[in-house]
Amino acid sequence: MTLVFASVLATGAATGSLPHGDRTSTAIKARAVASTADRDEVAHAAAEALADGKSATEAAEEAVSRSGDRWGAVYDEREYEEFEQALDGSYTGVGLAAKRSPDGLVAVARVQPGGPADRAGIELLRTIDGHRVDKRPVAEVVALLRGDRTSAAAGTTVVLGVQRGATGPTRKLTLTRARLLTEAVTVQKLGPDRSDSSAAVLIKVDSFTKGAGAKVRDAVRSAPAGAGVLLDLRGNSGGLVTEAVVAASAFLDGGLVATYDVHGEQRALYAEPGGDTVRPLVVLIDGGTMSAAELLTGALQDRGRAVTVGSRTFGKGSVQMPSKLAGGSVAELTVGHYRTPAGRSVDGHGITPDLAVSSRALQRGETVLSGLGGGS
């Protein structure tokens, strides 16, 4: 049985699961928060539509939408294949992560080095294939960048209306979508003298794709003895829950990471023994920290292993389970929720940092780490 903790990666590759992955579709819709969609009802809708010569995927989507299951979603075979590739750390897109700027415009959060957006030098997005994006949710902007079921493939094109600065002229760029490899975990030294062998280490985790947990573990093991770690989970929208547990194991000597339920039956996730429980640790979080990243944050906070710095996390703590439908599509429907080791529910609440900061979180995190004796 595969469980899913749904979220969305701003680059367009959606991930996050136990042990498969969590995602939202390229046709993400705003739905009210609710408990679950009935699996039999969704399956029946798909089978009935297929028998009538209609789209089983669209019928199933309508059934999920009516249910109010906020994180429930339906994917056709191509989308599901794309999802599997995303879990391996690759996706098709233009290599652009979007965010909402303070003035309400859609700005570039980051770009994939060497990708189409990087080469184009985009700063602000105004239109995608003629659709204005000013007031659209960021997730919808990502969906437009990826394209619909017929266009979301390497080699297809997307026309962007872009600006350099909020008052600059708008110009059009045509980008060709490409298959891109993501670098989920990056590591660098902190402080003014990064040649210092004892300098603290910044581990930035963009998503929990396959192998991300092991990369965190290896980075911790390779850090100088006594050097602190700044674990940056800002903007991490989730990924494979098993990878988040491996990452937790880098800092814990076994013990509970989280509990979750499936149709009312409680289960638990445990860290592997042997993690570094002494090294000073600060975790950076924000409103873009979701799902599996929240699970990791909650475990480290509840276990007293880290000081968390930043702003309240997103609050995505529901569990989805995928099932095959008639016609080959896949439905992922909410079946339960997970809780931190102290029994806190994350869904709809998020995680409050130990030190709340609205700006310069990285600098504040370094200061806290230095105060813990972890250097800077």
Active site residues: 291, 316
Q: How many CA atoms lie within 13 A of 260 on its CB side?
A: 28
DSSP state of 150: T
CA 14/CA 115 separation, integer angstroms: 18
Distance CA 160, CA 72 (A): 30
For every residue of 136-171, DSSP letters joined together read: S-HHHHHHHHH--TTT-STT-EEEEEEESSTTSPPE
The tokens 């990502």 sit on which residue?
A: 142
Structure tokens at 191: 């402080």
The neighbouring-strand residues paired with 300 are: none
CA angle 219, 225, 231 (to 5 degrees): 40
Q: Are 201 and 219 in contact (CB under 8 A)?
A: yes
Query: Are the C-beta atoms of 211 and 182 separated by less than 8 Å?
Result: no
> What does the block give as tokens for 311?
């702003």
Q: Is 201 helix (H, G, I), strand (E, B) or coil?
A: strand
